Amino acid sequence: MAKAFISYSHRDEKALERLHTHLATLRREGSISAWYDREILAGDDIDRKIDAALAESEIFLALVSPDFLASNYCYEREMASALERHADGSLRVVPIILEPCDWKSTPLANLKVLPKDGKPISTWTNENVAYLDVVTELRRITSIQTANTPQEGTRGQRPIPAKREGRRYRIKKEFDSIDRDEFRHKSFETICEFFRASIDELNEIGELIRARFERINGSAFSCTILNKASSKEAHITVRADAGEHLGGEMSFSFARRASPNTANGFVHVEANDYELYLRLDNFASRGRDKEALSAEQVAGELWREFTSHAGIDHE
């Protein structure tokens, strides 16, 4: 098992949580354990604990952002020490670019960074694909660098309370069939573009993952993923032209180029007194079948379900 030390700015804790989530499979396999400063207990000597953890590590994961580069502790203490060990071959430094920043003007510019081509995670259409690229490369690294080290536990992350905003007013409105039809097609196009961009990003990961997007017509598209690492294949077809006997709603089928008269579930257009929204049907397993969702949220839910069929986990 490879021991990894994660260096990050506390302003990037959300990214730390997402990385920790995506490392779950590697941890279950016993391929990696990750240490970061939440392991320090009250009363511990902070510098001593960090130095000890860094000394025991074989991989140094630097979560690079403007805040990371601005942090004297992360940049001048932790990273400087890690780069010294990297130079003598006793530690591998792996920069993970979270946000656009001036990292190319630092010593990290001499290293191969993640995700692919140093494209910051925050700029990917689907950040889960970016994290998958990171995990795929870490799997390659840990297959070589193995050590008997204890597995770390996980801790929950509490969201930062949202800033209080001023009072807002809403006006009640009635929506006719044309409003609903236009909203359905606009939502479909949003979902379609989400899948198109996500498939393009998935294809950048490497030869173990192959994916294809296919626009069937103006109201339907189909996608396929081949995961050579787990020998799994997944398909999805999303339509805005579901057959009349299916209610004419948007439909999704976990099959390639599924016909308009077949479906595993539906995306309904519904309305309250103020706005139109979407609702997933036959998605009770995720607990979102009664929620009012945006097109972006629906796209994310369908993407997670679709990729899970290919053995790609996000949670």
Per-residue pLDDT of the chain (315 residues; tens, 9 = 90+): 889 999 999 999 999 999 999 998 888 888 899 998 888 888 888 889 999 999 999 999 999 999 999 999 999 889 999 999 999 889 999 999 999 999 999 999 999 999 988 999 999 999 999 999 999 899 888 887 554 344 444 444 444 454 454 555 567 778 888 888 889 889 999 999 999 999 998 888 878 899 999 999 989 999 999 998 888 999 999 999 765 545 557 899 999 999 888 888 889 889 888 888 998 887 544 555 667 888 888 999 999 999 999 988 755
User: Of 162, 133, 178, 137, nearest to 276 (Cα)?
Assistant: 178
128 in the same domain as 16 = yes
227 in the same domain as 299 = yes
**137 within a domain of the structure (yes/no):** yes
pLDDT at 314: 58
> CB under 8 Å to 72, separation ≥6 — which residues?
none
**97 within a domain of the structure (yes/no):** yes
Can you give the CATH number for the domain in which 109 is found?
Answer: 3.40.50.10140
**23 within a domain of the structure (yes/no):** yes
266 in the same domain as 206 = yes
48 in the same domain as 110 = yes
User: Residue 198 is part of which domain span?
Assistant: 177-309
The tokens of 313 are what?
A: 């986990």
203 in the same domain as 251 = yes
**315 within a domain of the structure (yes/no):** no
206 in the same domain as 129 = no
**218 within a domain of the structure (yes/no):** yes
Q: Which of 94, 127, 144 is the last residue of a domain?
A: 144
Q: Is the pTM of this model over 0.85?
A: no
Q: Which of 120, 144, 168 is the last residue of a domain?
A: 144
CB 63 within 8 A of CB 8: yes
261 in the same domain as 204 = yes
**42 within a domain of the structure (yes/no):** yes
**169 within a domain of the structure (yes/no):** no
Q: Which of 100, 120, 144 is the last residue of a domain?
A: 144
User: Of 89, 200, 197, 95, nearest to 137 (Cα)?
Assistant: 95
205 in the same domain as 132 = no
Q: Is 216 exposed, middle or buried (0-12, 13-18, 19+ CB in 10 A)?
A: middle
300 in the same domain as 204 = yes
pLDDT at 69: 95
pLDDT at 246: 52
Our count of domains for the chain comes to 2
**267 within a domain of the structure (yes/no):** yes
The tokens of 162 are what?
A: 């949202």
97 in the same domain as 226 = no
